[in-house]
Structure 1
Amino acid sequence: MIEHGLEEKVLDLVLERISGIGLLRAGGRQRTDSTHVLAAVGTLNRMEFVGETLRAALEALSAAAPQWLSALVTADWVRRYGVRIDSYRFPKGENVRQEWAEQVGRDGFTILEAAFAPGSPGWLREIPAVQVLRRAWVEQYHRDGEGVHWREGKDLPPGRCRLSSPYDPDARYGVKRGSGWCGYKTHLSETCESDVPHLITQVITTDATVADTEVTESVHQGLAARELLPAEHDVDAGYVTAAHIVTARNEYGIELVGPVGLDTCHENHEGEHFTQSAFTVDWQARKVTCPEGKISASWSDQRKSSGTPVARVHFTAQDCGSCPVRQKCTKAANGKWGRSLTLLPRDQQEALEARRREQLTDEWQQRYNIRAGVEDTISQAVRRTRIRRTRFTDLPKTHLGHVFAVTAINIIRLDAWLTETPLGQTRTSHLARLDLAT
């Protein structure tokens, strides 16, 4: 199915059938959230990783080219790599452990140099475990005239690019809300209208390092391809930026509903201070007026490191230095610098300010409450299909498994709807019920 691009076919067929009987339609409201997915491999620290990577390559070569490998290794290699690498087998002491890691590095380079030597069989370097070894050694070690060296943390590639396991090259180590895991993330989108069953319309699988904000556009593209775009899309703050709000509205006709970051001052002010909304922006004249009536001295168009266009606006030190409310506005040292602002493009900045005002109202909060229901979908998927732990060792197969899982959930929900099975009730603890009764 993966080879022929049919991963989504089973879900497409079920959704088309449900649409045909009038229980699924475009428009309305949908909601999206994500959950972590554990890889089908163990989580390894750096020394375990390099040891297991070399051991995996040696295991593969022992089976594929035993005579070739026998000429390279000694009995010490069998002692070091004959069994799985575990932390409790490491020598004690930081210096001794680093020497162990560098020994592993030298052994790995011995294998790589032999495998890629001109006289070696070309197929040796095509063995997947050898390819993983080559990539891992570039990431974890460097060589100079003095030998092989263990890379320091600052010299490692970013987590998104760095291997986490020799047995699943697609798995990555991610962290969210202080919790880390090795594997993937899955994003589920579902309808949430009261007069039809709640059905999952989209599933996206990424590695664990991909932030939710990077998936918003992909969700909308997938729903557009299925002709199931909602009129309103309810998500948490991780999926929302000003650019997403504008793009969803202008390109897809979707009202993207989710909280954005609060309007705060750049400095860590305590007590009352002037936020960005206290300044008046004249977009035509490219000028900004501060709360005390002073006009900005410069406006320059720039780009963030991410490529996002912004405008940098500065006020003069003379205007800010003598300002009677300077302490509420800026804490630049000794009055040498004036207040500065960073503005997004006009449509994004106005959308951002409008959302900040909206999300403070009770009406918006009541409207947004519907998003929380997607937690039930994640719970059901975890309990019924074990979606939080993949059975496979790469991203394409993991995604295919997720497609089957959400298709199964849709069939379960359709059956419940047709047989008029009521939705499960929200669980309330005995303590909470006691408090409500009191």
Structure 2
Amino acid sequence: MIVGFAGWKGFRVSLEAWDDRGVPELTARVVRASFPKGTLAVRIRDALGPVFGDSAFALAFPAVGRPAASPGVLALVSVLQYAEGLSDRQAADQVRARMDWKYLLGLELDDPGFDYTILGDFRARLIKHGLEEKVLEVILDHCSRLGLLRAGGRQRTDSTHVLAAVRTLNRMEFVGETLRAALEVLAKTAPQWLAPRIDADWAGRYGARIDSYRFPKGDDVRMRWAEQVGRDGYLILDAVAAPGAPAWLREIPAVQVLGQVWEQQYQRAGEEVHWREGKDLPPSRNRLASPYDIDARYGLKRGLGWSGYKVHFSETCEADLPRIITGVLTTDATVTDTETTGTIHQNMACRQRVPGEHVVDAGYVTAAHIVTARDEHGIDLLGPVGLDTHQGERFPQSAFRIDWQSKAVTCPQGKTSISWSAQRKSSGTELARVHFAAGDCTGCPVRAECTTASVNSKWGRSLTLLPAAQQEVLEARRGEQVTEAWQQRYHIRAGVEATISQVVRHTGIRSTRYTGADKTHLGHLLAATAANIVRIDAWLTGTPLGRTRTSHLTQLDLDLAG
């Protein structure tokens, strides 16, 4: 039995003892008669039992206080609402109205359910106590017991963009809306303090949402408008920071965001206020994109720009088992795939779900990643590396013989390098810069195929080498990835795109429901868990995987080619 009540926030809420004794007899009889072929909820209950136990979430609830709904039930309802694309209110209504949901939750047919606001509080408690991953882990434990997950094996990973739950604003809209948001809060919480510091013009500039404002035409007029907003913002910030101002004003989140945005977007010299431009702006990774979601960032990939996040899904890809999502990583939109490889492997190791082979696209692979994955985690990182930039018109690096002990390189014509200097990129990557003598290259019969260095240059051919282990693995992978055998082995990577498509279509993760990275990540975990439940059901019922869609024109071309 779930107890629910409205307006309970602010109370000390304890864990309600809930002993699942199986599906009530009447519920089972009515549901079996109504759905003789079953539904997803019915089949999951029969296969997994109550799915989530309360003990997994006990840390999020005090031992004493006003009783709340069962955390296990709330977790399962949270997953179901992603599986069916429901809001909190709709999900709570389904608990009261759907017989198959009552069957899955083990409830009597007349159970009144709970108030929908409890779902939001439940998510907040999971985040506060660091229990977000529990939702996915419980399902993975069920999969292990059912034999649907095996140790080692193969996994694959890919990412997709996620739009923040805020509007994408240009710079003028952004600064105007940031100031407007701060003024709205101050007008409500400190009206007597704010009133003498503004005049009637402020209501005209900031009384309505900035994205509904028709900006004046002309670059000069718009620049004057932006600088006026800057001066108005500094007036508020200076007043808040003044010695006589109430200290609590400085603790208002909207005011703190205003200060951060003004530091990033403006510079002030005396009474003059100007836009920051070009290199004077902080990098996009450090620059806020919305006053309402301070974790969202503006990212750009292959010409696509968006404000928000990226999500990386890792899944199993065994031929004789269902594809189960085993890991979810959420980052802001500016984080590249290359930066996440180590984190993904570390997460796999912490959860003791390390694959023997990890299949990814080129965005996740560098020589350093291959070596680290192999040496630290025993993972064969399978993915293409970048081609040798000297391939084709010049001799590639693979044509040179490297003696790592003596730090010397011999070219295909038998000449030995005369310079070897250790260097380091700005990213911290170690490398060696190797040079051949200009005299050795000047009269070389294959010079035109080897180097474009000027005949008046101090050096002849030059090479840039990674540390020995990385350079060796790089050359080996470059040789492997052009073979038919390697390409056939790598062919399985494409299947992860179908997983991302399924999760996007069924759970709507392309646009986050929440503001903030923590809430967005929890939403991604719930979406992944929902996808796993759908896949477990499909596996248990023998539902075949959907075929890749092919247009009629493409199919005609394939038929003609055959």
Q: 2:549 aligns with which of 427, 433, 438?
A: 427
The CA distance in 2 between the partners of 1:239 and 1:404, in whole Å, is: 25
Q: Indicate the residue corresponding to 1:436 in structure 2.
A: 558
Amino acid at match of 1:207: D
Q: Does 1:292 align with 2:417?
A: no
State the shift of 1:10 in Å.
Answer: 0.8
Partner SS state of residue 338, structure 1: strand
Of residues 325-334 and 183-192 in structure 1, the stretch that sits farther from structure 2 once superposed is 325-334
Q: 1:202 aligns with which of 312, 315, 327?
A: 327
Q: Indicate the residue corresponding to 2:189 in structure 1.
A: 64
Q: Indicate the residue corresponding to 2:267 in structure 1.
A: 142
Q: Does structure 1 retain, via aligned residues, the 8 Å contact 2:438–2:455?
A: no
Q: Does 1:165 align with 2:290?
A: yes
Q: Indicate the residue corresponding to 1:405 in structure 2.
A: 527
Q: Does structure 2 retain, via aligned residues, the 8 Å contact 1:11–1:404?
A: yes
Q: Indicate the residue corresponding to 1:259 in structure 2.
A: 384
Q: Does 1:358 align with 2:483?
A: no
Mapping of 1:175-324 within 5 angstroms? 175-265=300-390, 272-324=393-445
Q: Indicate the residue corresponding to 1:373 in structure 2.
A: 495
Deviations 1:339-385 (A, max 9, x none): 21111000000000000000000000000000000011001100110
Corresponding pairs, count: 434
Q: Does structure 1 retain, via aligned residues, the 8 Å contact 2:162–2:309?
A: yes
State the shift of 1:334 in Å.
Answer: 4.1
The CA distance in 1 between the partners of 2:417 and 2:410, in whole Å, is: 6
> RMSD between aligned alpha carbons?
1.3
The CA distance in 2 between the partners of 1:81 and 1:316, in whole Å, is: 67
Deviations 1:9-58 (A, max 9, x none): 11111111111121112211110000000000111111111111111111
Query: Which 4+ residue blocks in structure 1 deviate beyond 6 angstroms?
Result: none
Deviations 1:152-189 (A, max 9, x none): 12210001000011111000011111111110000000
State the shift of 1:273 in Å.
Answer: 1.5
State the shift of 1:428 in Å.
Answer: 1.4
State the shift of 1:73 in Å.
Answer: 0.6
Q: Does structure 2 retain, via aligned residues, the 8 Å contact 1:321–1:335?
A: no
State the shift of 1:146 in Å.
Answer: 5.5
Q: Which has the higher contact order (CA 8 A, sep 6+)?
A: 1
The CA distance in 2 between the partners of 1:14 and 1:258, in whole Å, is: 29
Partner SS state of residue 210, structure 2: coil
Amino acid at match of 2:209: R
The CA distance in 2 between the partners of 1:213 and 1:293, in whole Å, is: 37
Q: Does structure 2 retain, via aligned residues, the 8 Å contact 1:37–1:389?
A: yes
The CA distance in 1 between the partners of 2:460 and 2:168, in whole Å, is: 49
Q: Does 1:86 align with 2:207?
A: no
TM-score, reference length from structure 2: 0.76
The CA distance in 2 between the partners of 1:58 and 1:153, in whole Å, is: 29
Q: Indicate the residue corresponding to 1:22 in structure 2.
A: 147
State the shift of 1:321 in Å.
Answer: 2.8
Q: 1:127 aligns with which of 236, 239, 252?
A: 252
State the shift of 1:429 in Å.
Answer: 1.1
Whose radius of gyration is greater, 1 or 2? 2
Amino acid at match of 1:143: R
Q: Indicate the residue corresponding to 1:382 in structure 2.
A: 504
Q: Does 1:4 align with 2:129?
A: yes
TM-score, reference length from structure 1: 0.97
The CA distance in 1 between the partners of 2:475 and 2:453, in whole Å, is: 25
Partner SS state of residue 2, structure 1: helix
State the shift of 1:87 in Å.
Answer: 7.9
| Ranges in structure 1 where 5+ consecutive residues have no aligned partner | none
Amino acid at match of 2:422: D
Deviations 1:291-310 (A, max 9, x none): 22221111111111000111
Q: Does structure 1 retain, via aligned residues, the 8 Å contact 2:393–2:450?
A: no
Q: Indicate the residue corresponding to 2:61 in structure 1.
A: none
Partner SS state of residue 473, structure 2: helix
Q: Does 1:109 align with 2:239?
A: no
Q: Does structure 2 retain, via aligned residues, the 8 Å contact 1:320–1:335?
A: no
Of residues 310-319 and 331-340 in structure 1, the stretch that sits farther from structure 2 once superposed is 331-340
Q: Does structure 1 retain, via aligned residues, the 8 Å contact 2:513–2:520?
A: yes
Q: CA 1:320–1:84 in 2, change beyond 3 Å: closer, same or farther? A: same
The CA distance in 1 between the partners of 2:482 and 2:172, in whole Å, is: 49
State the shift of 1:68 in Å.
Answer: 0.7
The CA distance in 2 between the partners of 1:146 and 1:274, in whole Å, is: 61
State the shift of 1:412 in Å.
Answer: 0.6
- Taking only the aligned residue pairs, the percentage that are identical comes to 70
Deviations 1:241-293 (A, max 9, x none): 0001001111111100000000122xxx9x62122112111111100112222
Deviations 1:79-130 (A, max 9, x none): 1111111386212111221111111111000000001111101111111110
The CA distance in 2 between the partners of 1:83 and 1:321, in whole Å, is: 71
Q: Indicate the residue corresponding to 1:418 in structure 2.
A: 540
Q: Does structure 2 retain, via aligned residues, the 8 Å contact 1:43–1:181?
A: yes
